[in-house]
Chains A and B, each alone.
Chain A
Amino acid sequence: MNSTAHPSTLAHHFDTLEQQRESASLGMWVFLGQEVMFFGGLFLAYLVYRASYPAVFAEASHHLDVVLGGVNTAILIASSLTMALAVYGAQTGKRNMLILFLVATMILGLAFLGIKAVEYHHKYEDKLIPGLGFSYPGPHGRQAQLFFGLYFAMTGMHALHMVIGIALLVWLIKDARTGRFTPDYHSHIENFGLYWHFVDIVWIFLFPLLYLIGLH
């Protein structure tokens, strides 16, 4: 029995590399299905209140920085491109390409979080964080607080997922540098790519819903 019959990358409870790869992939898809439901609850709450108070939500939305939000959107989309290129690098065995693009993805992710931090700081200065001295100009402060509460809950939850993603990227970069990933064995990269794209898609929904209400 030669080593290719049970390669070192094959976990003992799987029979073939193919079974292992398919299981990992299905696992990630199932996990993402769960994530859809998780964010879905937040989106539902948002949609209910936006339908109830469209004018106030539009007005409150104008306090958000569309430019920064737009830049962040571009950054995330670019990071999905770099992630896809990283997967390609893994698939074709180009280790340097893999590492380069994993690092690029991480840098873009960090840039996103940095801009988010700037935005949050502005909101803090403008006293628009519920629970931290919230004070809204105009008569619609109460429903505006609903908007901002949901804004922070949704973007905060998204940012948390970004942080987790970046932490995972650190680990993947570390592993990629040891040559662990080959054309035959790179499920981690592919499945992480799925996760990263999902987090990107969540932002693609968040951005117009939160930032672009009633913009002419």
Chain B
Amino acid sequence: MFSGFPLFPDQASTMAGEVDALYFFLIAITLFFSVLIAGLIVYFAIRYRRRSEVELPEPITGSTKLEALWTVIPFLIVMIIFGWGAKIFFTLSRPPSDAMPIYVTGKQWMWKLQHLEGQREINELHIPVGRAVKLVMSSEDVIHSFYVPAFRVKADVLPGRYTHLWFKATQPGEYHLFCAEYCGTKHSGMIGKVVVMEPADFQAWLSGGPPAESMTARGQRLFQSLACHTCHKSDGTGRGPVLNGVFGKPVALQTGQTAIADDNYLRESILNPGAKVVAGYQPVMPVFQGLINEDALSQILAYLKSLAPQPAVQPGATAVQPAVPPATTQQRRNP
């Protein structure tokens, strides 16, 4: 399917058809107005060609009615296009809550992808058809951009921040993955493919190959080895706030403002803890900037997201336990 002379990309995601519909509408508008203008120019140029050097043309200066017409009609047309594009964008920006997360790290000049179950891929992404997938992405160096034309999705991948994109593949096959933000020498080599498989084949792929430690297990080990657990105790007796169930919840800050504990909040709290201090706690957390790479960071994040809220705390409780044993975490196979 990569050969031949295609003139149109595959439609391989739920959004592809919607994006294409808007595209065709715009093609129609473009064709209509281009042909109209070109046609009028050609027609007028011939019909009103100069027949004599002394002819005086009509003293027409303008028509407010026409001006109003060709201001209002284009305005209405572009507002329709705006609304349509906005609607598509809202959908593209809002991953379904049951989307399967994949953690992506871009670096010069390759894509590293981690499945929650632990499989790691380089420049390839295997996913099941018919399942919403959400990518949580960051860069180790410069700005890249994750682009799958067949899915009509793209998002820049930034250093220092997580960005997201989501899609649901509708058709098994192999599709181009491109880096779409110039990133240096081998920018055009930072390509790969997304392999969409039938669910059964995907399961087989997941369990084939060497056994992999899940991201949450890795994250838990890091949580211990970096001594996070010494302050962030689940019983609330530690010097740091309780992290069980923190993901996605509002957090009251020292400044009186409230932040939502999303991917970027958690990331910043690890790399630059002084930026947002939780109300009632001291700013004593060490700075981990430069001490954790992107892979490890995403594993810790996956682990934190897996921590369901604990029941009411008891004094003297033991160190933090994950809510669900790691080997079976995140096996959300519910369709």
Leading 9 A-B pairs by shortest Cβ distance: A140-B274, A139-B274, A139-B287, A53-B275, A142-B289, A56-B274, A52-B275, A142-B272, A55-B274
Query: A142 to chain B: which residues have CB within 8 Å?
Result: 272, 289
Bound-state CA distance A142–B289 (Å) is 10
Known: A52-B275, A139-B287. 7 other contacts (CB 8 A): A53-B275, A55-B274, A56-B274, A139-B274, A140-B274, A142-B272, A142-B289
Query: A53 to chain B: which residues have CB within 8 Å?
Result: 275
In the complex, what's the smallest C-beta–C-beta distance from A202 to chain B, in angstroms? 30
**Residues in A lying within 8 Å of B, measured CB to CB:** 52-53, 55-56, 139-140, 142
- A54 (CB) vs chain B CBs: closest residue: B255
Bound-state CA distance A139–B277 (Å) is 14
- A140 (CB) vs chain B CBs: closest residue: B274
Bound-state CA distance A12–B287 (Å) is 68
- B286 (CB) vs chain A CBs: closest residue: A139
Query: B289 to chain A: which residues have CB within 8 Å?
Result: 142
In the complex, what's the smallest C-beta–C-beta distance from A138 to chain B, in angstroms? 10
- A52 (CB) vs chain B CBs: closest residue: B275
- Which of B272, B274, B289 gathers the greatest number of chain A CB atoms within 10 Å? B274
- A141 (CB) vs chain B CBs: closest residue: B287
- A53 (CB) vs chain B CBs: closest residue: B275
Query: A56 to chain B: which residues have CB within 8 Å?
Result: 274
In the complex, what's the smallest C-beta–C-beta distance from A137 to chain B, in angstroms? 15
Bound-state CA distance A22–B46 (Å) is 50
In the complex, what's the smallest C-beta–C-beta distance from A213 to chain B, in angstroms? 15
Bound-state CA distance A53–B287 (Å) is 16
In the complex, what's the smallest C-beta–C-beta distance from B183 to chain A, in angstroms? 24
Bound-state CA distance A56–B255 (Å) is 13
Question: Among residues 206 to 247 in chain B, which have CB atoms less than 8 Å away from a CB atom of chain A?
Answer: none
Chain B window 88-132, contacts with chain A (Cβ cutoff 8 Å), 1 for yes, 0 for no: 000000000000000000000000000000000000000000000
In the complex, what's the smallest C-beta–C-beta distance from A155 to chain B, in angstroms? 26
Chain B window 48-62, contacts with chain A (Cβ cutoff 8 Å), 1 for yes, 0 for no: 000000000000000
Query: B287 to chain A: which residues have CB within 8 Å?
Result: 139
Chain B window 274-318, contacts with chain A (Cβ cutoff 8 Å), 1 for yes, 0 for no: 110000000000010100000000000000000000000000000
- A56 (CB) vs chain B CBs: closest residue: B274
In the complex, what's the smallest C-beta–C-beta distance from B282 to chain A, in angstroms? 12
In the complex, what's the smallest C-beta–C-beta distance from B254 to chain A, in angstroms? 9
Query: A52 to chain B: which residues have CB within 8 Å?
Result: 275
Bound-state CA distance A139–B286 (Å) is 9
Question: Among residues 238 to 282 in chain B, which have CB atoms less than 8 Å away from a CB atom of chain A?
Answer: 272, 274-275
Bound-state CA distance A5–B38 (Å) is 56
- B273 (CB) vs chain A CBs: closest residue: A139
Bound-state CA distance A33–B272 (Å) is 39
Bound-state CA distance A12–B276 (Å) is 65
In the complex, what's the smallest C-beta–C-beta distance from B288 to chain A, in angstroms? 12
Query: A140 to chain B: which residues have CB within 8 Å?
Result: 274
In the complex, what's the smallest C-beta–C-beta distance from A15 to chain B, in angstroms? 31
Query: B272 to chain A: which residues have CB within 8 Å?
Result: 142
Q: List 9 A-B contacts (CB under 8 A).
A: A52-B275, A53-B275, A55-B274, A56-B274, A139-B274, A139-B287, A140-B274, A142-B272, A142-B289
- B290 (CB) vs chain A CBs: closest residue: A142
Bound-state CA distance A143–B186 (Å) is 32
Bound-state CA distance A53–B275 (Å) is 7
Bound-state CA distance A58–B272 (Å) is 17
Bound-state CA distance A94–B287 (Å) is 65
Bound-state CA distance A139–B287 (Å) is 8
Bound-state CA distance A139–B284 (Å) is 10
- B277 (CB) vs chain A CBs: closest residue: A55
Query: A55 to chain B: which residues have CB within 8 Å?
Result: 274
Bound-state CA distance A88–B219 (Å) is 74
Query: B275 to chain A: which residues have CB within 8 Å?
Result: 52-53
- B283 (CB) vs chain A CBs: closest residue: A139
Bound-state CA distance A140–B289 (Å) is 12
- B284 (CB) vs chain A CBs: closest residue: A139
Bound-state CA distance A214–B274 (Å) is 18
Query: B274 to chain A: which residues have CB within 8 Å?
Result: 55-56, 139-140
Query: A139 to chain B: which residues have CB within 8 Å?
Result: 274, 287
In the complex, what's the smallest C-beta–C-beta distance from A114 to chain B, in angstroms? 37
Bound-state CA distance A56–B272 (Å) is 12
Bound-state CA distance A52–B268 (Å) is 12
In the complex, what's the smallest C-beta–C-beta distance from B231 to chain A, in angstroms? 16
In the complex, what's the smallest C-beta–C-beta distance from B275 to chain A, in angstroms? 7
In the complex, what's the smallest C-beta–C-beta distance from B253 to chain A, in angstroms? 11
In the complex, what's the smallest C-beta–C-beta distance from B276 to chain A, in angstroms? 10
- B275 (CB) vs chain A CBs: closest residue: A53
Bound-state CA distance A52–B275 (Å) is 8
Bound-state CA distance A198–B180 (Å) is 44
Bound-state CA distance A56–B273 (Å) is 13
- B254 (CB) vs chain A CBs: closest residue: A55
Bound-state CA distance A142–B287 (Å) is 11
